[in-house]
Amino acid sequence: MDDAITLKSENFRNEARTGVIDCDVHNAVPSIQALFPYLEDRWRDYVVEHGIKSLEPNYYPRGTPLSARPGSELPNGHPPGSNLDVLRQQALDPWNVQYAILNCLYGVQMIHNEDWAAAMARAVNDWQNAEWLEKEPRLRASIVVASQNPEQAAEEIHRLGEHPGFVQVLLMVHSEMPYGKKHYWPIYEAAQQYGLPIGIHAGGVTGYPTMPVGWPSYYLEDYVSQSQAFQSQIVSLVSEGVFKKFPQLRVVLIESGFTWLPSLMWRFDKNWKGLRREVPWVNRLPSEIIKEHIRLTIQPLDESPKPEHLLETIEQIRSEDMLLFSTDYPHWHFDKNEEALPAKLPPRLEKKILSENARSVYRF
């Protein structure tokens, strides 16, 4: 498939030989029945008796252009990303991917019954292991947890923490309360114990407005506003001292956009200088904590009509370690593969984004 991409720079060509690391690829559950072999009897019966057809979330409504890259739809009506062969052809081979990290978005975080949610998360993880990790050595996966009950989520991390195929714990950005709150700390404690970063992905709980001022009318607003939710989660994680308590913990923001980061850091630092007494455990600039502990994947690229603006924004972040390559397959953000990266990146930085930064966050 080498000829499938127009290689973008010398550097990329080199990287394409040794392999890039794609930090955001979505494997989809083809149908709820696919999970039955991995679901405990009690809950399988529950799903069948209740006539539950699917927990596929509506983060990417079917038929919306963003939701499926051309060619990723499947003839059998199963969701894009649910077929390993297609995913190999479209996401792994063209990029010469060394590793791709699967972030399975299934609506377990939307379930209000904590026990059922935890059971579904276990089933999804066992299904991921059997159907994806064991069949394709280039794949790694995130542990899906039901954050509704952090104690149970931590148990799931303990169950899979030693498994080499799982490299991250997945949370969704829309939560019932800010992620810095002590309520969630059992998850972080367990993740740190196994050297697993926390991935936070767009999407999340139902019943809580997705905009900072209530419910939007349109999907466009909903999607654009995800980046505000990410900002508030960072502010919470830093302010509550999560990284003080768990100094080895890393958090990867996935599908968050990153161009908003400089403005947030500037405001956060300025406020901290006057208000630090409220959070004495934050005893250095918030931006320093962010640079040390937070990573962000690059898709979707919020691109300015002037390409130099994107490079200036990256310069304003003042760190070369934070950005991680991602395609967000099968979601559609770019027409040509080379558009997955910002144009004219300095070669050294491009190399770091394509693989080095990911290698320093994930335990491959």
Partner 1 sequence: MAKIEEQKAMETGKKLNGIIDCDVHPHPKSYQVIQSYMSEPWKSRFNAQTGLRGMYDNPIHVNRLDSVTPDGGYPCSDPEFTRKQLLDEYGINYAILLPRAFVSRYSNPDFAAAIAAAFNDWLAADWLDNNNDDGRYKGSITVAPQNPQAAAREIERWAGHPHFVQVMMDSGSTAPYGQQQFHPIYEACEKHGLPIAFHPGTEGVGINQSHVAGYPTTYMEWHTCLPLSAQAHLVSFITEGVFEKFPRLKLVMVEGGSAWLPSLLWRLDSEWKPLREEVPWVKKRPSEYIKEHVRLTSQPIESPDDPKHLLMNFEMMDAKNILMFSTDYPHWDFDSPTRSFPKMPEDLKRRIFFENAKELYNLE
Partner 2 sequence: MKKHIVATVEEIPAGEKKFISVNGKSICVFNVNGEFYALRNSCPHQGAELCKGSVGGMTVYNGSSSEGFDVSFVKKGEVLRCPWHGWEFDIKTGKSIVDPKRCLVKSYDVTVEESDVEMINAQVETYLVTIKSNYVLVHV
Binding residues among 131-160 for partner 1 as defined by CB under 8 A: none
Assess 276 for contact with partner 2 (CB under 8 A).
yes
Q: Which of 78, 138, 163, 244 binds partner 2 (CB under 8 A)?
A: 244
208 binds partner 1 (CB under 8 A): yes
348 binds partner 2 (CB under 8 A): no
Measured from the CB of residue 249, what is the shortest distance to partner 1 in angstroms?
19
Identify the residue among 78, 245, 291, 359 touching partner 2 (CB under 8 A): 245
Residues contacting partner 2: total by CB under 8 A: 14
Binding of residue 177 to partner 2 (CB under 8 A): no
Contacts with partner 1 in 36-55 (CB under 8 A)? none
CB of 359 to partner 1, least distance (A): 28
* Whole-number CA gyration radius for the chain: 20
Closer of 53 and 182 to partner 2 (Cβ): 182
Query: Within positions 259 to 288, which residues make up the interface with partner 1, using CB under 8 A?
Result: 259-260, 262-272, 274-279
- Rounded Cα distance between 61 and 361, Å, is 31
Q: How far is the CB of 203 from partner 1 (least distance, A)?
A: 12
Q: Is residue 183 near partner 2 by the rule CB under 8 A? A: no
Picked from partner 1, partner 2, none, the partner binding residue 180 (CB below 5 to 8 A depending on kind) is partner 1
**Of the candidate residues 65, 137, 274, 305, the single one contacting partner 2 (CB under 8 A):** 274
The residue from 109, 147, 231, 297 that contacts partner 1 (CB under 8 A) is 231
Angle, alpha carbons 26-30-33 (nearest 5°): 135
Footprint of partner 2 (CB under 8 A)? 182, 241, 244-245, 272-278, 280-281, 283
